[in-house]
Amino acid sequence: MQTLRTTSLQVRDNQLWILDQQALPQQQNWLPAADVDALVSHIHALRVRGAPLIGLSASLLLALLAEHGMPQPELAQALETLRAARPTAVNLMNNLDRMKLALGQRDFVSALSREALRLVAEDKQLCDNIARAGSALVTPGSRILTHCNTGGLATAGVGTALGVIAHAHQQGKVSHVWVDETRPLLQGGRLTAWELGELGIPYQLITDSMAASLMARKQVDAVWVGADRIAANGDVANKIGTYSLAVLAHYHNIPFYVAAPHTTLDMQCPNGDAIPIEQRAASEVTGVAGSFGSVQWAPEDARVYNPAFDVTPAALISAWVLDTGVVTPENFPAEAGA
């Protein structure tokens, strides 16, 4: 396969490498993902994260394994193992459905490689389309609140919600960005803050519980988030805490926008209740661990509820900004590609 590099993925020397997003922003480490077990481990540990990026990394790995000589039956098994690595993000399933079709072709090795590279190129274009469509909704001087990480670290391109913010900032329409820390693993505090700093966009970091006070003081003009899955009725699964922001924005009459590629739509999923929600380790709540070691602040026997995602009802969403354009509540799902 040809050499390839995005913000978070590399293919070089016929091997897949991923930027360790757990180590950011202090360290920029590239780790190998030589086999399925390694990539699944990276996904579970959130070293690889972001719905589009997870799907792309799985697709590239399958293509590389085929080029290394893995036979079709083993590739089919590898595909299903990767499919189960992240239950909430539908991009992974959509990408692997396309890779499965390529695997069924006579020259499956070349077909897998072409399809994986096509998916990367498509994601870059999807991000650009989302950024252009979404920036039209940003009013001059906007103070935007965002949640989780939706930039180039999570995609092959400029990102989804953060791509919109970056594009609008280039147009001189963004005056400030409020960045939620975002559990799990403080992805907003570590990743979004770093990306905004690299882009030269003014921001301030806040805890997930501070948004209400900012909205009450009229310091937020719009909320922009991404999505891991959009159900057929418009309900959205996204990082835990998104639903809280939607409720707050609704109460304070603040627009709440969801930016995502059409590959995040799951028209086979009737509503948010049908979206599987990943549960994460209790240790992420009872303490913290990193290169500095580990600290436990909760009692050793504390019981923990730690979902990685929540579901925002369609009724709380002002618009879905897709690569195909802006979809308003009265036009969903007709204009969303249903």
pLDDT per residue rounded down to tens, the chain (338 residues): 889 999 999 999 999 999 999 999 999 999 999 999 999 999 999 999 999 999 999 999 999 999 999 999 999 999 999 999 998 889 999 999 999 999 999 999 999 999 999 999 999 999 999 999 999 999 999 999 999 999 999 999 999 999 999 999 999 999 999 999 999 889 999 999 999 999 999 999 999 999 999 999 999 999 999 999 999 999 999 999 999 999 999 999 999 999 999 999 999 999 999 999 999 999 999 998 776 788 999 999 999 999 999 999 999 999 999 999 999 999 888 777 65
Burial (CB count within 10 angstroms: exposed 0-12, middle 13-18, buried 19+), residue 123: buried
Question: Do 24 and 157 sit in the same domain of this protein?
Answer: no
The first and second tokens of residue 142, run together, are: 């906007």
Question: Do 87 and 162 sit in the same domain of this protein?
Answer: no
Cβ–Cβ < 8 Å for 19, 153: yes
Question: Do 87 and 177 sit in the same domain of this protein?
Answer: no
Q: Which residues pair with 206 in a beta bridge?
A: 180
In a domain, 134, yes or no: no
Q: Is the dihedral of CA 72, 74, 80, 82 positive or negative?
A: negative
Question: Do 86 and 229 sit in the same domain of this protein?
Answer: no
**Residue-range definition of the domain harbouring residue 182:** 139-336
- The pLDDT score that the predictor gives to residue 333 is 80
CATH code, domain with 207: 3.40.50.10470
In a domain, 199, yes or no: yes
Residues in the chain: 338
Question: Do 88 and 215 sit in the same domain of this protein?
Answer: no
In a domain, 71, yes or no: yes
In a domain, 123, yes or no: yes
Question: Do 90 and 159 sit in the same domain of this protein?
Answer: no
Which H helix or E strand runs over 288?
strand 287-290
Of 215, 194, 107, 93, nearest in space to 151 by CA:
194
Last residue of a domain, one of 88, 109, 128: 128
In a domain, 133, yes or no: no
Cα 225 from Cα 258, distance rounded (Å): 5
- The pLDDT score that the predictor gives to residue 291 is 65
Q: Is 228 a catalytic residue?
A: yes
Which H helix or E strand runs over 126?
helix 108-135
Instruction: Indicate which residue of 20, 228, 235, 266 is catalytic.
Output: 228
Question: Do 17 and 145 sit in the same domain of this protein?
Answer: no
The first and second tokens of residue 140, run together, are: 């001059």
Question: Do 329 and 189 sit in the same domain of this protein?
Answer: yes
Which H helix or E strand runs over 114?
helix 108-135
Last residue of a domain, one of 128, 158, 185: 128
pTM, two decimal places: 0.94
Cα 99 from Cα 96, distance rounded (Å): 5
Of 183, 164, 161, 184, nearest in space to 173 by CA:
164
Q: Which string of DSSP letters, residue by residue, matches 32-78?
A: E--SHHHHHHHHHTTSS-SHHHHHHHHHHHHHHHHHTT--HHHHHHH
Question: Do 261 and 155 sit in the same domain of this protein?
Answer: yes
The number of domains in the chain is 2
Q: What is the 8-class DSSP label of residue 191?
A: I
Of 181, 175, 135, 183, nearest in space to 158 by CA:
135
- The pLDDT score that the predictor gives to residue 196 is 98
Question: Do 123 and 183 sit in the same domain of this protein?
Answer: no
Cα 22 from Cα 8, distance rounded (Å): 12
Question: Do 143 and 288 sit in the same domain of this protein?
Answer: yes
- The pLDDT score that the predictor gives to residue 289 is 79
CATH code, domain with 22: 1.20.120.420
Question: Do 294 and 194 sit in the same domain of this protein?
Answer: yes
